[in-house]
Amino acid sequence: MRGIEVFQEIIPLLKDEPVVHANGFICRESFALQDREENFYMIGSMGLASSIGLGVAICKPDRKVIVLDGDGNVLMAMGTLAMIGAEAPNNLVHVVIDNEVYESTGKQRSISNAVALEQVAKSSGYREALRVDKKEEIKPAFERLMNSEGPGFLLIKVEACFDPKTGRVTHTPEEIKERFMNTLLPH
């Protein structure tokens, strides 16, 4: 499965949920496929998508909050999995697209081939942690987590085949922030 197929499966399932994107190809592919005002594109601060998402989930308990993360980001901030498990926001769904490399920087190996991140999440206290390897498994697994009590964790194993010609996010960081915040204002 290619990483882009994960976005093709998940984006049509989204309504107005805030989605915090990890830096690198996750921001770029999602943005290229379908930009959303509810998307927070974290272009720097590697490792922090999960803690940003946790902060949103705690402060917006009535909104389902999604983090689209990568294996490199999760490995860098594995302690944040413990914080999510301990705080246990029932409205957080943490999706990790795992290509086992740092793809945006030239496919250097990460170590997620040797570390079962879904088991780390489960041990950290996520209510449910699933792993899928096939494209057709994504939709049912994602919908299951979206419709059940969280925090939920979904590890999606993909090949490393990011197209480096994919553009970068063209909004300025301040624009990304302003419109994301507007979508979180009380209605």
Q: Note the residues at the interface with another protein (CB under 8 A).
A: 20, 40, 42-60, 77, 79-80, 82-83, 86-87, 173-174, 176-177, 180-181, 184-186
137 alpha-carbon distance from chain centroid = 17
The C-alpha R_g of the chain, in whole angstroms, comes to 15
Question: By the 8 A CB rule, do 45 and 23 touch?
Answer: yes
Q: How far is the CB of 75 from another protein (least distance, A)?
A: 14
Beta strand spans in the chain (E) = 19-21, 39-41, 65-70, 92-98, 101-102, 108-109, 128-132, 152-157
Token pair 């927070």 in the structure block, residue = 40
Q: How far is the CB of 187 from another protein (least distance, A)?
A: 12
Q: How far is the CB of 8 from another protein (least distance, A)?
A: 27
**Judged by CB, which is closer to another protein: 44, or 106?**
44
**Judged by CB, which is closer to another protein: 45, or 113?**
45
**Judged by CB, which is closer to another protein: 163, or 175?**
175
